[in-house]
Structure 1
């Protein structure tokens, strides 16, 4: 066997509850289970030999047994040789945790929990492959847990995989270096064919490159407004080079050749939009939202600013509510949307011959809306004091 195909996923976060998302929380939570099925299906359709889940399969260490059973039923559908599951920093491994004991009890024989650094030899699954693992044992850590006893020389005819979960310095947002930080230099120095990472929910690299041997697929299903693209997984194909087994002079030439591609698996999308209103909102000023083709599976965070005519408020609210009805979730920031101060507004609040009315009228004629807004608020405060 000189080729190996690996479907690489991470950060599925089964059990994530989306408590701040209102009515959208139920479908978003259900999507964490559904994406397990899609990842397994993608791996089987690609004829992958191994399905790797590189950490945070679960969102926390306390998961209902029925949810664990459901995940294991999904993993049983993988048609390849084995599924490798690494504990991440959300579902970290500890001997006292019921999560992984329940998981191992329910999972089939083709599922292997990477609870130690290894190496794990996959010969029992019919694969000439050694796996080196870096499981998480707590929520945070300032030190990575990369194996320290990697082989000094390559073993001819065998693949070498590394699986780890943590931040990649220079790529992951981890300013305090508290999530098992790693560097590409540390990972490359181990000499394995490829490191399969998890933790960062955005895929890296954005464009697969055969010269890169460190990959992070991101989450296969978007899970918040920090992630505005489609979720997915990486499919890696490794090919062992034909070399003289007695020649140890060029260890790099003995690493497997690598090709990778990204496969989209996410169904939900999170989008950011911004709109400006000047006077009267156009009938179609929200019609191009969302970008995603399936509005019912799209969550939108909308920022609206500008100055709206008083008589147009009702129309704006109707257009906004029509958009909300199309979407799964709409969050609107209207903190910078002001009602335009008109002559009628001035007349309703101040006598026509008064100083406030004359001042505001003069500012209105000058077209200085910002100064007029500030003056109007101050005059209202003085009047009410």
Structure 2
């Protein structure tokens, strides 16, 4: 049996803090959902599991819910399991999940109850133990009942949960349904399919692992340094589980720190960002360095070229400074003036740091 496992797609996320990229990034999440369904079908997956936060919030437009369900309905395997997470949590009067169920085909099931779900379409039988979220925050996890259930030794027992994992997820205040590895391992299941943490864990799946968190399938911030991922779990006849990572995303969030000191360095940056792949990246770029006049002017002109080469650019280049030279001193200050004499003395003594500091102070006073 093959299980395609994703989580934390967050359909409907607005990315308001990225005004140039927000529409592209929001639409990409729907495209990635379709891509994961297509990939799961290509791999002849039997079970498709969404372990929470399919949606970014509970108040979704009907058209957006329908778009999501249209993609999910196209899964050609046996069953799709969708768990409400802490962002798209379920309540007794949940309009989101009522509409979702109304639009879904029979093989798409919402895991909205904390009770065993038997999937008899599989041989051996699969029993699913859902841990849905009923609120955005909770100091208590939803898996405590799983250990109390008697389990058939011949069946495959799969837990599906959404929440932080101790030692893996950043949940210092214990607000996101916190669970420990020990609690998960002692629950009596063969496998836990998790969601909530947007990084992949384990990073290198091993046959000894039984707890899996795929990370988001489409990157959504600078803390997400992978390419968007899903897991493919293959269960053998002896119930041994082999897991591989599937790359799923389109866009990337990349942070770079660069030092420049010449026109060659400036052109190198322009050439680097001129590659086509950067058009699909939100870039946070920090630049520092001292440049002579010609190189400094070249950098000022190059910033717009780099901005046009990426999806969106966050640039911090206040540490890029003009390198003060004797020619520049003579050009900017009258011969014999106090600034000219002071700066020339530093220049003659080759005291670069003092020269730079003095120049910047003088320019600041002049402004």
Same fold (TM over 0.5): yes
Matched, 1:97 2:94: yes
- Indicate the residue corresponding to 2:315 in structure 1: 332
Residue 56 of structure 2 corresponds to residue 73 of structure 1? no
Any stretches of 5+ residues in structure 2 without a counterpart? none
Q: What's the CA shift string for 1:52-106, capped at 9, x where partnerless? A: 0001100111111000000000001000111111111111111233111111111
Query: Which of 353, 357, 360 pairs up with 1:370?
Result: 353
Alpha-carbon deviation of 1:34? 0.3
After alignment, is 315-324 or 124-133 more displaced?
124-133
Comparing 232-241 and 312-321, the one that deviates more: 312-321
TM-score in terms of structure 2 length: 0.93
> Which stretches in structure 1 are left out of the alignment for 5+ residues?
242-255
Distance 2:354 2:204 in 1: 49
On the 8 A contact 1:299/1:328 being kept in 2, the answer is yes
More deviation, 138-147/34-43: 138-147
**SS in structure 1 of the partner of residue 355 of structure 2:** helix
Deviation (angstroms), 1:23: 2.2
Distance 1:274 1:288 in 2: 16
Find the counterpart in structure 1 of residue 103 from structure 2. Answer: 106
Q: Which residue of 1 aligns with 2:158?
A: 161
Does the residue aligned with 1:353 lie in a helix, a strand or coil?
coil
> Contact between 1:296 and 1:328, CA under 8 Å: does it hold in 2?
yes
TM score, norm. by length of structure 1 = 0.88
Equivalent in the alignment of 1:239: 236
Structure 1 segments of 4 or more deviating over 6 A?
Answer: 124-127
- Give me the whole-angstrom Cα distance separating, in 2, the residues matched to 1:138 and 1:106: 23
Q: How much has 1:144 moved relative to structure 2?
A: 1.2
From 315, 320, 325, the equivalent of 2:303 is 320
| Whole-angstrom CA distance in 2 between matches of 1:192 and 1:317 | 59
Please provide the CA RMSD for this pair.
2.2
In the TM superposition, residue 152 of structure 1 has moved relative to its aligned partner by: 5.6
Q: Can you list the C-alpha shifts for 1:22-43, whole angstroms capped at 9, x where unaligned?
A: 2211111110100111111111
3-state SS of 1:23 partner: coil
Equivalence for 1:354: 337
- Find the counterpart in structure 2 of residue 269 from structure 1: 252
1:120 and 1:211 map into 2 onto residues whose CA distance is 25
- Matches of 1:348 and 1:203 in 2, distance apart? 57
Residues of 1 paired with 2:295 and 2:156: CA distance? 66
The farther-off stretch of 110-119 and 294-303 is 294-303
Instruction: Tell me how many residue pairs correspond in the alignment.
Output: 367
Selected match of 1:301 from 276, 284, 287: 284
